[in-house]
């Protein structure tokens, strides 16, 4: 048994695109892949601590933050969800140094297959598989642009999202029958449809600010032995204790027997005990 506060699972993929997971529970790092097929039990103590300041909070916001941190941290600002609304250049960033380190850096615009083709952005797609693709449960991804900063990546994403989804349907993502999509073909069709919007951004920000990438599609595989047929989501606030056979992990979701799933990232900061056989 291990005890402590939950954090989102750390992820990585090997050269073949096979994903492995580590679940931090307090000071313990639990290797999750070896637990596939085994009985696990998770129990919440009812205590929630902010993942940033460790303050005890009655309610968690933005997957682990207390309310004071929600309204004061740059990483909790609305522009994190909508990067095209970044206001650093207006001098109103909550934490300018944080913004410089995280937002005023190169970002990548990508296509992914999460059950359907979607567009997204990430800071980490220069080499190999981005953790963001894994967190979204993508079965394949293709970087298409490298841009100079986060705000511009959001503007490019917004332009492309007029012609393709920028959302992940998590229920579809957790089903086993994911269609095969040629993301390179989607890319070509998308660039034609969004050519005028992209040209306008290039004229505004300069040709060097948006660089097209010639990348190969990267395929991703997850440690899943059985996918749910009818998804039943576990809510840790309503069901503070559960147990079952762990059948797989995809995105930040555990898949358990009885078609049950739980989004572990949602409960970051919850104080729990985890045991397994």
Tens-digit pLDDT profile for residues 27-79? 999 999 999 999 999 999 999 999 999 999 999 999 999 999 999 999 999 99
Say if CB 261 and CB 254 are below 8 A apart.
Answer: yes
The pLDDT of residue 233 is above 80 = yes
CB 8 within 8 A of CB 264: yes
User: How far is residue 203's CA from residue 134's CA, in Å, rounded to a whole number?
Assistant: 34
Per-residue pLDDT, 177: 84
* 3-class state of residue 258 by DSSP: helix
Q: What percent of the chain has pLDDT over 90?
A: 95
pLDDT in tens, 203-225: 999 988 999 999 999 999 999 99
Q: Does the structure show a pLDDT above 90 at 146?
A: yes
Q: What are the E-state strand segments in the chain?
A: 2-5, 10-13, 19-25, 28-31, 39-48, 107-113, 117-122, 140-147, 210-212, 218-219, 232-233, 241-250, 253-256, 260-263, 270-276
pLDDT at residue 17, rounded to an integer? 95
Q: What is the pLDDT of residue 125?
A: 61
- For tokens 């729990």, name the residue: 272
Residue 127 in this model has a pLDDT that exceeds 90: no
pLDDT for 273 equals 97
Between CA 214 and CA 211 the distance in angstroms is 10
Helix axes of 183-193 and 195-205: crossing angle, nearest 10 degrees = 70
Tens digits of per-residue pLDDT, 173-195? 998 888 999 999 999 999 999 99
């Amino acid at each position: 048994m291990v005890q402590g506060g939950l954090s989102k699972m750390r992820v990585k993929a090997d050269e073949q695109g096979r994903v492995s997971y580590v679940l931090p529970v307090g000071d313990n790092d639990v290797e999750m892949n070896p637990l596939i097929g085994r009985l696990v039990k998770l129990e919440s103590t009812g205590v929630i601590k902010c993942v940033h300041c460790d303050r005890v909070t009655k309610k968690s916001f933005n997957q682990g933050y207390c309310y004071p941190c929600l309204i004061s941290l740059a990483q909790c600002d609305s522009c994190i969800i909508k990067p095209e609304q970044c206001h650093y250049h207006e001098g109103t960033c909550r934490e300018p140094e944080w913004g410089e380190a995280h937002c005023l850096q190169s970002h990548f615009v990508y296509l992914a297959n999460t059950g359907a083709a979607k567009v997204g952005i990430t800071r980490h797609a220069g080499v190999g598989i981005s953790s963001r693709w894994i967190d979204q449960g993508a079965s394949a991804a293709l970087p298409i642009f490298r841009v100079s900063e986060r705000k511009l990546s959001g503007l490019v994403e917004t332009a492309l999202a007029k012609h393709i989804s920028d959302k992940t349907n998590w229920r579809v993502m957790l089903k086993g029958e994911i269609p095969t999509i040629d993301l390179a073909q989607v890319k070509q069709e998308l660039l034609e449809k969004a050519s005028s919007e992209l040209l306008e951004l290039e004229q505004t920000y300069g040709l060097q600010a948006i660089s097209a990438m010639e990348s190969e599609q990267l395929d991703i595989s997850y440690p899943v032995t059985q996918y749910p047929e009818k998804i039943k989501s576990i809510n840790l606030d309503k069901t503070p204790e559960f147990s079952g056979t762990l059948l797989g992990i995809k995105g930040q979701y555990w898949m358990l027997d009885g078609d049950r799933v739980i989004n572990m990232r949602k409960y970051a900061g919850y104080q729990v005990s985890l045991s397994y056989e």
